[in-house]
Amino acid sequence: MASEREDFSLSGPLHLTSVDWESAHHRRSVAASLVQAVYILERDRQEKRQDSQVLAPPWYEFFHFRLLRHLVDDVDHSIFGAVYEFKPPASYCNDSLDGSPRYVIAFRGTLNKPDSLSRDLELDLHLIQNGLHRTSRFEIAMQAVRNIVASVGDSNVWLAGHSLGSAMAMLAGKTMVKNGMFIESFLFNPPFFSAPIERIKDKKVKHGIRFASSVITAGLTLAMKGNHNHRRNQAEDPFAALSAWIPCLFVNPADHIGSEYVGYFEHRKKMEEIGAGGIERLATQNTIGGLLMHAMGKESEPPLHLIPSASLTVNLTPSQEFKQAHGIHQWWQPDLQLQTKLYNSWKQLPANRIQSD
């Protein structure tokens, strides 16, 4: 049985009757709606809805997108992603399309339904273990991204995802950077797996823990990898090269799965302010667990959540419960209290602002 939250006419951003593609609120709302459509495409499949019963199309057709193809998991055959093509009507003025994408590749998160839950939880486990890049689902996603980018170029493509899907989109974006491609990305409630330091109320205690962690991590980095590894220029250093990619991250402080991004970036700013930027540059590229793996002779990919740059938007609107704070629906609501900060490479750029949509 369909829920109200699946029905676009009841829960969708109906206020966006005309999209301003240069508006951050409009772009965020459209990207979130396309991710929601992926959730409902899978629900339509599971519920065997057909013809007039299907609920997914309004979530993308309202914004003049058409579904180009599903992305289907090879294990449980669930729909985990979709490729959309933007097809505005001929009456659209070209000037009004500035900032619009030609294609959007969107990924859903974990769906708490029997036909897909076990596979989604398996992917969640791979994510926690920093092994998402080794899964067949990611290989399918990556192939779709490469094909579209090869066809139209990286500047005409958006990536979007929620929760597990945002991790998929982030990993795809980071992978494309290695090939010199920088895809605009909208990552809703991206997971950040670490100790829940951000939930500590005392700011001094919180900063003290983060400072100690940075010092230990930087020290281990120098001891295990040697100074020469950290004197490479940007052309040789993958992490430094990654700083040119600035994904849009959307987090809620009441969402313990992704709220650590707030402290992650703010701590880097504080370390620069107290003259400890060099320590943080080393610490930010590694985790203690990853360094220990290196010490045992086991090479591993850097944790997915470690990124040098981002446009971080925090939803300061009070949330009633975790489910609401982690949900996709919050990101197209009007009258949100949002704070957006732009972080680039190792320092914070002077582009902070508080928004009220």
- Percent of the chain residues past pLDDT 70, beyond the cut: 73
- Percent of the chain residues past pLDDT 90, beyond the cut: 61
- Please tell me the number of Cα atoms within 13 Å of 184 on its side-chain side: 15
Q: What is the predicted pLDDT for the residue at 90? A: 82
Treating both helix axes as pointing N-terminal to C-terminal, what angle do 164-177 and 136-152 enclose, rounded to 10 degrees? 50
Structural domain includes residue 121: yes
Structural domain includes residue 255: no
Q: Is the pLDDT of residue 133 over 60?
A: yes
Pinpoint the alpha helices (H) of the chain: 8-11, 24-46, 57-61, 114-128, 136-152, 164-177, 203-225, 238-242, 260-273, 277-283, 288-295, 322-326
> Mean pLDDT over residues 51-56, rounded?
95
Rounded (to 5) percent helix, strand, coil in the chain? 45, 15, 40
* Of 6-20, 49-63, 107-121, 288-302, the least confident: 288-302
Q: What is the predicted pLDDT for the residue at 147? A: 97
Q: What is the predicted pLDDT for the residue at 348? A: 42
With 0-12 / 13-18 / 19 or more C-beta atoms within 10 angstroms meaning exposed / middle / buried, residue 195 is: exposed
Tokens of 143: 């192939």
Which residue segment(s) compose the domain that 13 sits in?
4-188
Structural domain includes residue 235: no
> Mean pLDDT over residues 56-74, rounded?
97
Q: What is the predicted pLDDT for the residue at 347? A: 45
Q: Is the pLDDT of residue 170 over 60?
A: yes
* Of 45-59, 200-214, 227-241, 325-339, the least confident: 227-241
Q: Is the pLDDT of residue 293 over 60?
A: no
CA–chain centroid gap for 69, Å, is: 21
Q: Is the pLDDT of residue 188 over 60?
A: yes
CA distance 88 to 91: 8
The whole-model pTM stands at 0.84
Structural domain includes residue 153: yes
Structural domain includes residue 181: yes
Tokens of 159: 């990536």
Q: Is the pLDDT of residue 14 over 50?
A: yes
Residue scoring higher pLDDT (201 or 59) = 59
Structural domain includes residue 143: yes
> Mean pLDDT over residues 269-291, rounded?
57
Q: What is the predicted pLDDT for the residue at 194? A: 67
Q: Is the pLDDT of residue 95 over 50?
A: yes
- Collapsed DSSP state (helix, strand, coil) of residue 309: coil
Q: Is the pLDDT of residue 354 over 60?
A: no
- CA distances from residue 103 to 8, 92, 186, 240, 351 in whole angstroms, order as listed: 21, 17, 13, 28, 28
With 0-12 / 13-18 / 19 or more C-beta atoms within 10 angstroms meaning exposed / middle / buried, residue 141 is: buried
Cα-based angle 164, 167, 170 (whole degrees, multiple of 5): 155
Q: What is the predicted pLDDT for the residue at 300? A: 56
Q: Is the pLDDT of residue 165 over 70?
A: yes
Alpha-carbon torsion (145, 151, 154, 156), positive or negative: negative
Q: What is the predicted pLDDT for the residue at 265? A: 85
Domain count for the chain = 1
State the amino acid at position 72 in one-letter form.
V
- Collapsed DSSP state (helix, strand, coil) of residue 314: strand
Closest by CA position to 31, among listed 100, 112, 111: 100
Q: What is the predicted pLDDT for the residue at 86? A: 97
Structural domain includes residue 265: no
CA distance 90 to 96: 12
Q: What are phi and psi of 181, to 5 degrees?
A: -110, 130
Q: What is the predicted pLDDT for the residue at 228? A: 44
Tokens of 329: 């629906």
Q: What is the predicted pLDDT for the residue at 43? A: 97
Around Cβ 94, how many Cβ atoms within 10 Å? 7
CA distance 308 to 242: 7
Q: Are 94 and 85 in contact (CB under 8 A)?
A: no
- CA distances from residue 23 to 30, 99, 184, 214, 239 in whole angstroms, order as listed: 11, 9, 15, 37, 30
Contacts of 143 (CB under 8 A, 6+ apart): none
Question: Per-residue confidence at 231, pLDDT binned at 50, 70, 90?
Answer: very low
> Strand pairing of 184-188 and 157-162?
parallel
Q: Is the pLDDT of residue 93 over 80?
A: no
- Collapsed DSSP state (helix, strand, coil) of residue 71: strand
Q: What is the predicted pLDDT for the residue at 209? A: 62
- Collapsed DSSP state (helix, strand, coil) of residue 235: coil
Structural domain includes residue 243: no
Residue scoring higher pLDDT (113 or 227) = 113
* Mean pLDDT over the full length of the chain: 84
